[in-house]
Amino acid sequence: MIAAVPDPDPQEEEGSELELIEIELLLEAVHRRYAFDFRDYAPAVLRRRLWRRAQAEGVRTLSGLQERVLHDPAAMERLLLDLSVTTTSMFRDPGFWLAFREKVVPILRTYPFVRIWSAGCSTGEETYSIAIVLQEEGLLDRSRIYATDINAAVLARARNGMFPLARMREANANYLRAGGARAFSDYYISGYDHARFCRPLCDNVVWAQHNLVSDASFNEFHVILCRNVLIYFGKPLQDRVHALLHESLAPFGFLALGSRETLRFAARETDYAPVVEAERLYRRVA
């Protein structure tokens, strides 16, 4: 029987030379073995999640975790789930969605075809939210939504479109506050304790694996939603991702960030004008 692995003592362990070496070697090993690059993620976030995974794997050191993930791809999948951003909800931050309807949708109506990128889509709640908004605004049939994430497992869940029914009931309040025009239940079919979104919402969605850290731009978009992703990255990585988003955004296209994120002090700050600063909604002007 494996004894429980105690949490590291923050006063004793955090920032210690040995721990820093172990983290650096582990992240380098993951990058070289699996091509996932977490080397510039926010250090405090990384440390917590790495120790959480080490405890779950029953190993006492981060070196032990490195050995486990190098030799066991299934362990790497579990680590990837821990390191990926998977916290999301339907119509998260309803004020943002109201601003999107009022400020962005009228511009999108002037385009013959609309391309939208949901970057770091996780389990798909944001993607289904944007699809519902486009449906209600009469734009879904001439739109293409590209929903991408680093994690193939969460992408599969997103593509499936099935969620616990209790989550859908909770989402109803956000939907109404976000300017929803119909009954939220019109968009899904419920059975037992789960609900599945209606297939027409997915007809114009492309689900694909994409790594914001290492992969290149793959299209030009009128709207990019990269919300609540950059907060997990260190400054050099944030700048790299901002360069990718800027390259991928059409002139006068819209960029949406999360409520705790901002373009202030970003390398590309002057290339954007705020549309609704409070909702982190910007428009590319250069």
Regarding whether 221 and 152 lie in a shared domain, the answer is: yes
d(CA 275, CA 286): 15
Which residue has 């820093």 as its token pair?
20
What is the total count of domains within the chain? 2
Regarding whether 259 and 119 lie in a shared domain, the answer is: yes
What is the domain range of residue 74?
10-83
Instruction: Give the percent of the chain with pLDDT over 90.
Output: 74
d(CA 189, CA 198): 7
- Closest residue by Cα to residue 100 from 112, 84, 111, 116: 116
Whether 2 is in a domain gets the answer no
Regarding whether 67 and 118 lie in a shared domain, the answer is: no
Whether 4 is in a domain gets the answer no
Question: Does the structure show a pLDDT above 60 at 13?
Answer: no
Whether 152 is in a domain gets the answer yes
Cβ burial, residue 135 (10 Å; 0-12/13-18/19+): buried
Whether 48 is in a domain gets the answer yes
Whether 3 is in a domain gets the answer no
User: pLDDT per residue over 207-230, tens digit each?
Assistant: 999 999 889 999 999 999 999 999
Average confidence score pLDDT of the chain: 91
Instruction: Give the percent of the chain with pLDDT over 70.
Output: 94
Which residue has 């791809």 as its token pair?
73
Mean pLDDT, residues 82-89 taken together: 74
Q: What pTM value is reported for the model?
A: 0.82
CATH classification at residue 240:
3.40.50.150
Regarding whether 33 and 147 lie in a shared domain, the answer is: no
Contact partners, residue 100, CB within 8 Å, separation at least 6: 133, 256, 281
Regarding whether 257 and 172 lie in a shared domain, the answer is: yes
Would you place residue 86 in the very low, low, confident or very high pLDDT band (cuts 50, 70, 90)? low
Mean pLDDT, residues 254-279 taken together: 94
Whether 1 is in a domain gets the answer no
